[in-house]
Amino acid sequence: MNTYSVRKGDTLNELAKRFGTSAKEIAKKNGLEDINKIQVGQKLIMPDSFEQGTRTGSTNSGTSSKPSPEASAPATTAAKSGPAKDDDGRQFPTSRDGTPIYKQGDAQWGGRTLGSSSSLAAAGCAMTSTAMAISKITGKVINPGELDQYLDKNGGYSGNGLIWGKAAQMAGLGASKPGWSFDNINKQIDAGRPVVIGVDYKAGSNGGANGTDHWITVTGRGTQNGKPVYYANDPATGKEITLTKDGNRLTGGPQGYKSTGELVTFSGGNPNPGTAPTNSQPGGETPTQTPPASSVDMKGTTLPGGELKKGARGPEVEQLQNALVKSGHLTQADMSTGPGIFGPKTEAALKKFQADNGVDAIGIYGPKTRAAFEKLGAKIGGGSSTPTNPTGPTTPVGDLPKTGNAFLDRVAADAIKSQRQTGVPASVTLAQAMLESGSGQSGLATKANNFFGIKGEGPAGHVTMPTKEFLNGKWVTVNANFRKYNSPAESFADHGKFLRDNRRYANAFNHTDNAAQFAREIHKAGYATDPEYSNKLISIINKYGLDRFDKIARG
């Protein structure tokens, strides 16, 4: 059940439509004698629309009124990986791949207002589906209530329509809507990245003719009775459902869902492919899931040429760990517990990678494993692409070419050192420093040696400063705490580490040899809210020829 606080203009008939029930049922639940008399502020218990046998209405733009569940029993939920637990200690069931299963009508959040009107229970399918997907991809349980709070504060809705990129941003991910294709879907779910798809359920709508009515989270695939099937978490019922492939469409689930061709995918994070359960499903056949061979692009990653096994230490181990993080088999947090040390976590991650890529899962890095990485685009032999210790040229920076800008000339050496230390292009670092600090003249730069607007607690504490943020389509001024440094060099070094160690910027490190694309990727990942941020950086790089410093840093 959900509790709703009556607002001005509400009627029981309108609330019944919104919550997928009837005015008579609301009156009955609340002991109302006259369905025409309700008062502003009155608390009403709303029947859970997904326990009812009726449904009404629909909307577009990532929201919907919801269908009732099938009269027959839903597909069995196989929580092979066990329940997921959120920050409050509440446990949620998981689907066969380990994705938490949320119900949009859950009493904990179902009564929250979605966007400008309606409720999560009535129209929160897109947002709930997204919460499930990003929880799996990041390994952090983000429930719909938490996601809705974030979206409310960060301009995540357009009316009632979800802004997908904003929702993904909460988890440090990116979102996109590629063209519908099973190839796109398969690559994502096989790599452990659930996708969100649009479906409809209206009788006679012919799979999309009337637009998307509902959104669900596709988590995996397998076979049933010799035919390909896909598994999805349905926010309407809070159950895992099975969909069948029908031409270029997926069908099945409550009231015969039909995919509409709308597909949302998520980038970033450290996804881990799921495994098929051992229990049998309806139809008399044990489902089998396609082995999730890694689909990640490992270009730009360098790995050692020798053999490594448990107990090894040094920069070559760290190269392997960085590669396993990039492939999604080792988390950044686990790597941080022992960078450069081949321990149990590195061994387990390597075994996962080997199993997913057709290599004997023995946990030893050797010729077959090197070949598997090479097949994915990695380079064997040489230095790491994103080292945590200096692996670039160690010669002194020496005299540098002049840019014609005194500030850039003064800090160019610090940017070069940062590139050698972290892989962040010196040109991007310099452009950001110039833009963020007003060429070193901002209050934040003069008071805190902070040239990049990085918030939080720094080596020398913090300073509180007003800052402009682009929210809800307009610029607003807010106060925030910014890191304080003891010297400019300390600021530049921390900036590179900040980008390198924050996994939301992982995609940028695929483009360390392309400063413009690196700038676009950190912008896309949420470094700044200014919609023109990356364009401004690229303009500065071109104006002052800053890419020459990238070449100097590479030696």
Under DSSP, the state recorded for 50 is: G
Name the nearest CA neighbour of 268 among 175, 373, 157, 357: 175
Q: At 424, is the secondary structure helix, strand, or coil?
A: coil
Indicate if 494 belongs to the active site. Answer: yes
Helix, strand or coil, per DSSP, at residue 496: helix
Q: Could you say which DSSP state residue 210 is in?
A: T
Distance (Å, rounded) from C-alpha 524 to C-alpha 165? Answer: 9
Q: What is the DSSP letter of 205?
A: -
Nearest-CA neighbor of 173 among 61, 257, 270, 248? Answer: 270
Which among 469, 501, 530, 547 is annotated as catalytic? 469
Tally of residues, the chain: 555
Distance between CA atoms of 384 and 368, rounded to whole angstroms?
20
Considering the candidates 86, 240, 490, 494, report the single residue annotated as catalytic.
Answer: 494
CA distance 168 to 191: 18
10 is catalytic: no
CA distance 512 to 390: 15
Distances (CA, A) of 283 to 18, 226, 231, 409: 37, 10, 15, 71
Q: Are strands 462-471 and 474-483 parallel, antiparallel or unpaired?
A: antiparallel
DSSP string, 348-408: HHHHHHHHHTTS---S-B-HHHHHHHHHTTPEESS--SS-SS--S--S---S----S-HHH
Angstrom distance (rounded) from CA 219 to CA 81: 14
Q: Specify whether the CB–CB gap between 264 and 274 falls below 8 A.
A: no
Quote the DSSP letter at residue 290.
Answer: P
Residues designated as active site? 469, 494
